[in-house]
Amino acid sequence: MQANPEARRALKAQEPWIGPRSRIGVIIPSTNIGVEYDCQRIIPPGVTWHFGRFFVGQPDLSSDDMFLAFIDAIRETIPDAMRDIMTCEPKYIMMGMSAETFWGGLEGNIEFEARLRDLIGPNMGITSGAAALKDALDAFGAKRVAALTPYQPVGDVQVRRFLEESGYHVTNVVGLKCDTATSIAHTPPHEVIDVVLKQLEGDDVDAIVQAGTNLSTIDIFPALEKQLGKPVIPINVATIWHALRAQGIDDKIFGKGLLLEKF
């Protein structure tokens, strides 16, 4: 039996039954594996993730020059992904990418977010990776920070610049120099743990952060936090936390790190 016109209008006026609290559009590189993996482990009731990919035709990251070519290439394809994701009518946008959000330091991140708002309108909320890490560090009151990236030195310089311009003392930035944008996801966990414990941790460090959204550390960083007694923050967890809290979704989520448990 078909609903009468009045009933159909009443149904349309209701909140959608899929994602009634928020439908979050997530923009990721076509090479990315880690962001979806992490988002699928953090799903508050009434929240849904909706992924859109921008094409990466230049995934080679094996040198500084190739890394710069990668950055130039994705600047051309991000707008199409932003256009496409808006057709599912998200309530919020989360950028599941990292390097471009640090580029140009603090002012560069502001300009990056402004370019995105030009594509989707001024009223749509946006979370970018660099800004989310900054807010996460501020939540913990951290002042002295160390960072892990999958990047070449040219990318590490941008991460350091953003953190320093944001007011933190950066004790060290270690890049894993991954060969391609896809191979980042295949980094063995023991390599990440070794860098954190042997090159980043110290009495002079308040918090450790990780850039590079294809480097999923959600399964190892909570244990490192307990071992070290300080925040060890993956960029994907920071962006998820930021996107949720920006919309008033304050659910505490346990087992995925101190950030989601405390703030």
The model scores a pTM over 0.85:
yes
**Domains of the chain, earliest start first:** 18-262 (3.40.50.12500)
Q: What was the pLDDT predicted at 5?
A: 58
pLDDT of residue 4: 63
Confidence of residue 17 (pLDDT cuts 50, 70, 90): confident
The answer for residues whose C-beta is within 8 angstroms of residue 170's C-beta and 6 or more apart is 145, 146, 147, 160, 163, 164
User: Cα-flanking dihedrals φ and ψ of residue 151, to 5°?
Assistant: -85, 170
Residue 7 has pLDDT above 80, yes or no: no
pLDDT category at 6 given cuts 50, 70, 90 is: low
At 54, which helix (H) or strand (E)?
Answer: strand 47-54
Between residues 5 and 183, which one has the greater pLDDT? 183
Confidence check: pLDDT of 11 > 50: no
Please report, for residues 95, 122, 185, the alpha-carbon distance to residue 29 in angstroms, rounded to integers and kept in the order given: 10, 23, 12
Find the mean pLDDT for residues 180-192.
Answer: 98
* End-to-end Cα spacing for the chain: 48
Question: Of 140, 142, 116, which is closest to residue 129 (Cα–Cα)?
Answer: 116
pLDDT value at position 161? Answer: 98
pLDDT band at 15 (very low <50, low <70, confident <90, very high): low
SS3 call for 9: helix
- pLDDT tens figures, 126-160: 999 999 999 999 999 999 999 999 999 999 999 99
Q: What is the mean pLDDT of the chain?
A: 95
The amino acid that residue 11 corresponds to is: L
pLDDT tier, 9 (very low <50, low <70, confident <90, very high otherwise): low
Res. 224: pLDDT tops 50: yes
Query: What pLDDT does 210 receive?
Result: 98
**Taking 70 as the threshold, does the pLDDT of residue 204 lie above it?**
yes
Tens of pLDDT, residues 18-64: 999 999 999 999 999 999 999 999 999 999 999 999 999 999 999 99
